[in-house]
Amino acid sequence: MATYTPTTPIDHIGRGHKPPVPPPGGGDDGRGGGGVPDYGARLRRARLGLICAIVTVCMVFISLTSAYVVRQGLPTFDDASNSYVRDWGEVHLPWVLLAINTAVLLISSLTIELARRAAARQAALAPVMEIPGVSLGKETRFPWLGLTVLLGFGFLAGQWLAWGELHNRGFYMNTNPSSSFAFLLTITHAVHLTGGLLALLWAASTSLLRRPVEARRIVVDVTAWYWHFMGVLWIYIFALLGFAR
């Protein structure tokens, strides 16, 4: 059997010839990994998870966009004229209704941001409030979260009306490729937004079920960023359907 004579000096073990002590702050930069994570660590972890989720949703819509662009540019063989023709066709979208929906979604993004800040404030003040005899005066709590849920449902209802209006104008999923994509993109967005709504309802239930205020804050925070992303995504879809007709 062959033998091996190591050449690494005793004080040079560890990658990169670092001394055998943990680097300052540790591999997790002092995030408390391995132990009981504090509230800040849990929030950061949830946000990191959200970033991954957003990357995934982006990949879904990038795929659909590339399919949109490719399909739009494809000539179609027409058996009647025995030639290649363009079958993309224009969809008469209910722009006014969609603009109202956009406004509703943007306003909901504002209200959820206020809900996020309120939840953060509530979580930060919770330890102080628990001290017997300490009062911070009358805190006015506006139900921003509830308002966001309402606006979210309002947006979905508006989208429902828009799909109905498209039907009234004679456009169905299979009418032509452009109508297929109009339905596909808006419905896929609505499905993702519904996920956000469910998370908001969950956040609302945390106060009803008397769960810890930190848990509520984390859900609200992560959902708020997701909601903002849904707003940006909707504007992107709106622009795609509007400018790349």
Partner 1 sequence: MATPASVHSHAPQGFVRKYIFSLDHKVIGIQYFFLALTAVFVGMLLSLLMRIHMIWPTAALPLVGEIKPETYLSLLTMHGTIMVFFVLTTAPQGGFGNYVLPIQIGAPDMAFPVLNMLSFWTTFVGFVLIIAAFFVTGGAPLHGWTGYPPLSAVQSAGPGEGLGADLWITSIAIFCIASLMGALNFITTTLDLRAKGMTMMRLPLTVWSWFITAILGLLAFGVLLSAGILLLLDRNMGTSFYVPLVVVNGQVLGHKGGSPLLWQHLFWFFGHPEVYIAILPGMGVASQVLSTFSRKPIFGYKAMVYAMLSIGFFGFMVWGHHMFMSGMSPYSAFAFSILTMAIGVPSAIKTFNWLGTMWKGKIRFHTPMLYAIGFVSLFVSGGLSGPFLAQPVLDIQLHDTYFVVGHFHLIMGVAAIFGIFAATYYWFPKMFGRMMNETWGRIHFFITLAGTYAIFMPMHYLGMAGQTRRYSQFTEVPYQAKLIPLQTFITVAAIITISAQFIFVINLFWSMFKGPKASDNPWEATTLEWTTSTPPPHDNFGGVTPVVHHGPYEYGVPGAAKDFVMQTDPAVGATH
Contact set with partner 1 (CB under 8 A): 1-11, 13-16, 20-23, 25-28, 30-31, 33-37, 41-42, 44-46, 48-49, 52-53, 55-60, 62-64, 66-67, 70-71, 74-77, 79, 87, 173-174, 177, 180, 184, 188, 199, 202, 215, 218-219, 222
Cβ-based nearer residue to partner 1, 100 or 188: 188
Cβ-based nearer residue to partner 1, 66 or 164: 66
Residue 76: phi and psi, rounded to 5, are -115, 140
Q: Please give the single-letter amino acid code of residue 170.
A: G
CB 243 within 8 A of CB 103: no
Smallest separation (angstroms) from partner 1 to the CB of 173: 5
Cβ-based nearer residue to partner 1, 14 or 146: 14
Smallest separation (angstroms) from partner 1 to the CB of 85: 9
Smallest separation (angstroms) from partner 1 to the CB of 4: 5
Cβ-based nearer residue to partner 1, 57 or 100: 57
Measure the CA–CA gap between 224 and 222, rounded to whole angstroms: 5
Smallest separation (angstroms) from partner 1 to the CB of 67: 6
Cβ-based nearer residue to partner 1, 77 or 142: 77
CB 157 within 8 A of CB 70: no
Return the bridge partners of 76, or none: 85
Q: Please give the single-letter amino acid code of residue 204.
A: A
Smallest separation (angstroms) from partner 1 to the CB of 72: 11
**CA torsion angle 174 64 186 105 (round to 10):** -170
Smallest separation (angstroms) from partner 1 to the CB of 145: 14
Structure tokens at 155: 């947006």
Cβ-based nearer residue to partner 1, 15 or 210: 15
Measure the CA–CA gap between 229 and 227, rounded to whole angstroms: 5
Residues 6+ apart with CB under 8 A from 178: 72, 88, 89, 90, 91, 245
Q: Where are the alpha helices (DSSP H) in 74-143?
A: 95-129
Measured CA distances, 128 to 32, 132, 211, 214 (Å): 24, 9, 18, 14
